[in-house]
Chains A and B, each alone.
Chain A
Amino acid sequence: MATSFFTAKVLPLNSTRSADKPLLGQVLLPSSFLGSSAHKLSLNNAFSLQSQRRSNAVVAVSDVVKDNKSKSKSSISNLLITKEEGLELYEDMVLGRAFEDMCAQMYYRGKMFGFVHLYNGQEAVSTGFIKLLKKEDSVVSTYRDHVHALSKGVPARQVMSELFGKTTGCCRGQGGSMHMFSKEHNVLGGFAFIGEGIPVATGAAFTSKYRREVLKEADCDHVTLAFFGDGTCNNGQFYECLNMAALWKLPIIFVVENNLWAIGMSHLRSTSDPEIWKKGPAFGMPGVHVDGMDVLKVREVAKEAVGRARRGEGPTLVECETYRFRGHSLADPDELRDPAEKNHYATRDPITALKKYMFENNLVNEAELKVIDKKIDELVEESVEFADASPVPARNQLLENVFADPRGFGIGPDGRYRCEDPKFTEGTAQV
């Protein structure tokens, strides 16, 4: 029988954080899954009471709920966001979009090179999740990581310099488009291999648990988000980590950005059961499906999942149905996707949807949004100028940073690096 190594007790949490209370009685509007029959999902079922049952019971959202007078999400009495939050979300999504568009321009001008994978269309997922995190929470991503890094707080100029390969980039030009790391903002990459980031994210969540349980840092409730795509859900490492995360109740959220295409391979052609959220319950964690083109819906689901993880209740699998407006990478001619499908999703642009919501509910007016648009344009322009003006790495940077240990001789008995011990370098230290 699988027993968790860590206690299944719920952590005490100061309940003033409203984000942690499970939403009661709210039914989300059905989201269309490939235009097929809608699933009606209830958050209430997914999270609150059942998850506290200690067993490995399936806590997932797999029932069709009777649609009892579904409240429209735009009813005046319970708006999902305040004005400040709305502006923050809007700014983040516009930053992501403007940045990626600029990347495309720069690529075709030859300033950027190699593999560049753009995130246009999927901003709602990144913004919806990452804007709920603290600085100490970590994010692990794939090669499509520019916007994850930006949402987490890495300055745009550093990301742009990194893409240009300049020494002022967040990884001094040594990482590149697919390997964005930032220790300060806890962005753990940036992995090119499909599925590689998932075990690393699980390890980061493990560290959070270890710190609390073994190192006795009682307030360590950091969560980790692992972002990956639909193609990754057929990879073995994904299942290995679902198993271990649920087994050890790790504070991680597995976010699937299901954009239906893995380069040119359609999700339906490659997967025996295309509904990815169903794979969560098989491992004993809730599986939720959400419309990834609507940042507010994503944010609501994310609040629940992050809250669950922070309380120590374990992992969640969230499938976000989303779409990328551009090809897989800038080298992809994108011939296999049906233009009708692209148009359908273009009408569901997350930025336009958020704008519409905010106007309808009188949260903002046109002028305020224009101010933000202008600000972001200037920011992105400035980051390009900064990157252009930055120097390329010096030649001796080639051999730097291979090891953390300066000369590779390890650490001596006194706890310092051996190469700092003068007796060692003279060859007289006894070994």
Chain B
Amino acid sequence: MAGIIGRTMATAKLSNLNKFLVGSRVSASRTYSSAAKEMTVRDALNSALDEEMSADPKVFVMGEEVGEYQGAYKITKGLLDKYGPERVLDTPITEAGFTGIGVGAAYYGLKPIIEFMTFNFSMQAIDHIINSAAKSNYMSAGQISVPIVFRGPNGAAAGVGAQHSQCYAAWYGACPGLKVLAPYSSEDARGLLKAAIRDPDPVVFLENELLYGESFPVSAEALDSSFSLPIGKAKAKREGKDVTITAFSKMVGYALKAAEILDKEGISAEVINLRSIRPLDRPAINASVRKTNRLVTVEEGFPQHGVGAEICASVVEESFEYLDAPVERITGADVPMPYAANLERLAVPQIEDIVRAAK
């Protein structure tokens, strides 16, 4: 209960009340065990898939190792047993082929969920994601819509090297006709995946491998099977008034921790979880910047033409007079991901980087 009140108050300037409610939510979770369960992102995704597949027989999952192997990252665990091999399809290693098959099926109103083992492999199928899925509604003038979801882990994992670590938010976010979502918490994962599956348009759903095992509290409302989050709306995860930090996916966690560190030094940071890369929630970002007058964007991907660049341009175009200082972008290093652990640490944004930029 307290969790729900906390969220609706998020946009109000009641940071004190919020702190009280956060505290009370924690205590509530001890007394009312039904109010705030913990759920890993993996379970959240699995439950979302399960519920959507049972609600609509047109939903099916296709990808490598989604069936008998229970999912390369165990996201699709148990689905094969429950729904059978006609709805949970193990494919050969043919990204271009099975992505195209999914698009063709979506043309006819089935709702495929295409899993890429990582989004790096989607590059072999990017022609179908962009040319035959994203552009089809436009090219056919609305006759053929493509209710497909492309999902999989995106961005860097631990020590997997250059060809398995790229972040694709910026590339897919540039393409009209696609919706691009990047959840952070379990609740985000559940709500956004459900919204994506129900959506009549192609959705690129960027998960993060390192977040799969992390637990987050989920409210009772989020556990309901009709729960879904709106697309194109960001969420302020933490209220502040000195600087705005925008982030998505794993970087939200880092930003929150950086915000706590900054808080001890008297800098109150507002952390915005973007949730949706396309459509980008420009009104929310601009409103926040107008309040705090400073902006730091955080992302894991390459700096040039990244998500941060787009946010920076948007803020400069719309809220220029409100900015007290230039926008700072924290991004991954402008190099392919190195393998050595210490180099990898240098190539990905860390909490200290965010703190330093905010100051």
A163 interfacial by beta-carbon distance below 8 Å: no
Known: A140-B104, A200-B101, A236-B96. 12 other contacts (CB 8 A): A174-B140, A175-B141, A190-B139, A191-B132, A196-B131, A201-B104, A213-B86, A243-B92, A404-B201, A408-B279, A409-B233, A430-B7
Closest to A238 in B: B97
B89 interfacial by beta-carbon distance below 8 Å: yes
12 residue pairs from A and B, CB less than 8 Å apart: A179-B139, A189-B132, A198-B100, A199-B98, A200-B128, A206-B105, A210-B105, A214-B87, A215-B57, A244-B101, A410-B228, A424-B230
Residue-wise interface mask of B (217-236) relative to A, using a CB-CB cutoff of 8 A (1 in contact, 0 not): 00000001011111111010
B334 interfacial by beta-carbon distance below 8 Å: no
Task: Give CA–CA (A431, B229) in the complex, Å.
Answer: 7
Listed stretches A180-188, A291-299, A300-308; interface member: A180-188
A155 interfacial by beta-carbon distance below 8 Å: no
A182 touches B143 (CB 8 A): yes
Listed stretches B35-43, B192-200, B307-315, B346-354; interface member: B192-200
A276 interfacial by beta-carbon distance below 8 Å: no
A403 interfacial by beta-carbon distance below 8 Å: yes
A200 touches B107 (CB 8 A): yes
| Chain B nearest CB, measured from A205 CB (Å) | 8
Q: Which residues of B contact A204 (CB under 8 A)?
A: 104-105, 107-108
Task: Give CA–CA (A241, B103) in the complex, Å.
Answer: 13
Closest to A207 in B: B108
A199 touches B101 (CB 8 A): yes
Q: Which residues of A contact B230 (CB under 8 A)?
A: 409-410, 412, 418, 424, 431
A401 interfacial by beta-carbon distance below 8 Å: yes
B137 interfacial by beta-carbon distance below 8 Å: yes
Please tell me which one of the listed residues A203, A236, A413 contacts residue B103 in the complex, with CB atoms under 8 A apart.
A203
Residue-wise interface mask of A (124-151) relative to B, using a CB-CB cutoff of 8 A (1 in contact, 0 not): 0000000000000010100000000000
B205 interfacial by beta-carbon distance below 8 Å: no
B97 touches A244 (CB 8 A): yes
Q: Which residues of B contact A404 (CB under 8 A)?
A: 137, 142, 145, 147, 200-201
Please tell me which one of the listed residues A174, A188, A243, A401 contacts residue B107 in the complex, with CB atoms under 8 A apart.
A188
Closest to B201 in A: A403
A199 touches B141 (CB 8 A): no
B232 touches A409 (CB 8 A): yes
A210 touches B60 (CB 8 A): yes
Interface size class of B (residues with CB under 8 A): 35 or more
| Chain A nearest CB, measured from B139 CB (Å) | 4
Task: Give CA–CA (A172, B58) in the complex, Å.
Answer: 29
Task: Give CA–CA (A261, B200) in the complex, Å.
Answer: 39
Closest to B235 in A: A431
| Chain B nearest CB, measured from A393 CB (Å) | 9
B85 touches A5 (CB 8 A): yes
Task: Give CA–CA (A276, B209) in the complex, Å.
Answer: 43
Task: Give CA–CA (A396, B138) in the complex, Å.
Answer: 13
Q: Which residues of A contact B137 (CB under 8 A)?
A: 401-404
B140 touches A179 (CB 8 A): yes
A275 interfacial by beta-carbon distance below 8 Å: no
Task: Give CA–CA (A393, B179) in the complex, Å.
Answer: 26
Q: Which residues of A contact B229 (CB under 8 A)?
A: 410, 431
| Chain A nearest CB, measured from B282 CB (Å) | 12
Please tell me which one of the listed residues A175, A207, A401 contacts residue B104 in the complex, with CB atoms under 8 A apart.
A207
| Chain B nearest CB, measured from A163 CB (Å) | 14
Q: Which residues of A contact B131 (CB under 8 A)?
A: 191-193, 196
Task: Give CA–CA (A138, B228) in the complex, Å.
Answer: 34
Most A-side CB within 10 Å, residue of B60, B92, B98, B104? B104
Please tell me which one of the listed residues A184, A241, A415, A418 contacts residue B97 in the complex, with CB atoms under 8 A apart.
A241
B139 touches A410 (CB 8 A): no
Q: Which residues of B contact A175 (CB under 8 A)?
A: 139-141
Task: Give CA–CA (A380, B346) in the complex, Å.
Answer: 66
Q: Which residues of A contact B200 (CB under 8 A)?
A: 403-405, 411
B92 touches A409 (CB 8 A): no
Q: Which residues of B contact A84 (CB under 8 A)?
A: none
Task: Give CA–CA (A135, B37) in the complex, Å.
Answer: 52
A341 interfacial by beta-carbon distance below 8 Å: no
Please tell me which one of the listed residues B107, B176, B233 contacts residue A402 in the complex, with CB atoms under 8 A apart.
B176
Please tell me which one of the listed residues A140, A199, A403 contacts residue B177 in the complex, with CB atoms under 8 A apart.
A403
B228 touches A413 (CB 8 A): yes
| Chain B nearest CB, measured from A378 CB (Å) | 28
Q: Which residues of B contact A214 (CB under 8 A)?
A: 57, 60, 86-87
By the criterion of a CB under 8 Å from any partner CB, how many residues of chain A are at the interface? 62
A196 touches B128 (CB 8 A): yes
| Chain B nearest CB, measured from A233 CB (Å) | 15
| Chain A nearest CB, measured from B126 CB (Å) | 11
Task: Give CA–CA (A244, B62) in the complex, Å.
Answer: 13
B17 interfacial by beta-carbon distance below 8 Å: no
Task: Give CA–CA (A196, B107) in the complex, Å.
Answer: 14
B232 touches A408 (CB 8 A): yes
Chain B, range 87-137, C-beta contacts under 8 Å to A:
87, 89, 91-92, 94, 96-110, 127-128, 131-132, 136-137
- What are the 9 closest A-B residue pairs judged by CB atoms, nearest first? A203-B104, A199-B100, A240-B97, A181-B140, A404-B145, A410-B231, A172-B141, A200-B104, A240-B94
A42 interfacial by beta-carbon distance below 8 Å: no
A122 interfacial by beta-carbon distance below 8 Å: no
Task: Give CA–CA (A264, B104) in the complex, Å.
Answer: 30
Q: Which residues of A contact B31 (CB under 8 A)?
A: none
Task: Give CA–CA (A189, B11) in the complex, Å.
Answer: 46
B138 touches A401 (CB 8 A): yes
Q: Which residues of B contact A207 (CB under 8 A)?
A: 104-105, 107-110
Chain A, range 46-103, C-beta contacts under 8 Å to B:
none
B2 interfacial by beta-carbon distance below 8 Å: no
A203 touches B101 (CB 8 A): yes
B94 touches A401 (CB 8 A): no
| Chain B nearest CB, measured from A281 CB (Å) | 19
Please tell me which one of the listed residues B7, B104, B140, B231 contacts residue A199 in the complex, with CB atoms under 8 A apart.
B104
Task: Give CA–CA (A206, B110) in the complex, Å.
Answer: 10
Task: Give CA–CA (A323, B119) in the complex, Å.
Answer: 41
Please tell me which one of the listed residues A203, A215, A402, A430 contacts residue B106 in the complex, with CB atoms under 8 A apart.
A203
Task: Give CA–CA (A243, B91) in the complex, Å.
Answer: 11
A366 interfacial by beta-carbon distance below 8 Å: no
Task: Give CA–CA (A71, B231) in the complex, Å.
Answer: 66
| Chain B nearest CB, measured from A138 CB (Å) | 8
| Chain A nearest CB, measured from B98 CB (Å) | 7
Q: Which residues of B contact A402 (CB under 8 A)?
A: 137-138, 176-177
Task: Give CA–CA (A140, B177) in the complex, Å.
Answer: 21
Q: Which residues of B contact A411 (CB under 8 A)?
A: 195, 198-200, 228
B304 interfacial by beta-carbon distance below 8 Å: no
Q: Which residues of B contact A400 (CB under 8 A)?
A: 141-142
Most B-side CB within 10 Å, residue of A243, A400, A408, A414? A408
Please tell me which one of the listed residues A6, A182, A247, A418 contacts residue B92 in the complex, with CB atoms under 8 A apart.
A247
A171 interfacial by beta-carbon distance below 8 Å: yes
